[in-house]
Amino acid sequence: MDSVLSQSHPAVESIVIDGASTDGTLAVLEPYRSLFGVLISERDQGIYDALNKGIKHATGDVIGFLHADDVFENSEVLAKVAAAFRDPTIDAVYGDLVYVRHDDIRQVIRYWKSGNYDDAALSRGWMPPHPTFYVRRSVYERLGGFDTRYRIAADYDTVLRFLAVGKIRAAYIPEVLVRMRAGGISNRSLKTIVRKSLEDMDVLRRNKVGGFRTLAWKNLSKLGQFWKR
């Protein structure tokens, strides 16, 4: 929350979705309550159901997500995103992301450099880091939110549906926008890695982007992120 409140861009609507947690989260959020546009704490059907709730309550022109334990790289991130959206032909904006140690966000473990998007990129396994992916609310209204049938890969499905099927136009900000603490749901165990791969394959086929080769490229392309700085 401090990371959000530090942003220099003045027009930010903060929507906080909590899954009826019992670990003291609400006590942490209480001092910020007056600064939120919306605070919801109730049971949900997983992370993508929670994100859909956020979309439903959003009134701003552009929607982005900052997940638990993630922080913006600096106080100018949202200002730069907003500046990119001044071009009325742009539907989405994305940037780079770094994975950092959970106990020390200054120590980078992995650097996800997005690069510019082109029509053939998706079939090569490319996708932007979803925590940096900002989209006009009108796109969600037109193409839909997250498909909650997927437990791990609904963000990948959304990106493919927007870019490959919806043909939206995206702009790249060539710098780090978000620091993400390592240890996300998609690589928690061998079981989740297998499930993610199966969901990724279904997402690729449903959106008619590719198959096994695309999935292989998608996974292999991550290896270089551990050496890029």
pLDDT (tens digit per residue) in 142-181: 999 999 999 999 999 999 999 999 999 999 999 999 999 9
pLDDT band per the 50, 70, 90 thresholds, residue 228: low
Classify residue 12: in a domain, yes or no: no
Q: β-pairing, 134-136 with 170-181? A: unpaired
In a domain, 162, yes or no: yes
Residue 47 within any structural domain of the chain: no
- The answer to the question of residue 18 being in a domain is no
Q: Tell me if 182 is assigned to some domain.
A: yes
Evaluate whether residue 20 is within a structural domain: no
182/95 Cα distance (integer angstroms): 18
Residues with Cβ within 8 Å of 228's Cβ and at least 6 positions away in sequence, in order, are 111, 113
Confidence of residue 140 (pLDDT cuts 50, 70, 90): very high
CATH code, domain with 97: 3.90.550.10
Neighbour tally for 62: CB within 10 Å: 22
- The answer as to whether 166 is a domain residue is yes
Q: pLDDT at position 184, please?
A: 61
The DSSP letter of residue 152 is: S
> Could you tell me which residues come within 8 angstroms of residue 121 by beta carbon, excluding any fewer than 6 positions away?
none
Q: Which of the four pLDDT bands, split at 50, 70 and 90, describes residue 68?
A: confident
- Confirm whether 173 is domain-assigned: yes
The domain total for the chain is 1
Boundaries of domain holding 178: 60-226
CA distances (Å), 105 to each of 55, 114, 224, in order? 28, 20, 20
User: In the chain, what percentage of residues exceed pLDDT 90?
Assistant: 79
pLDDT at residue 25, rounded to an integer:
92
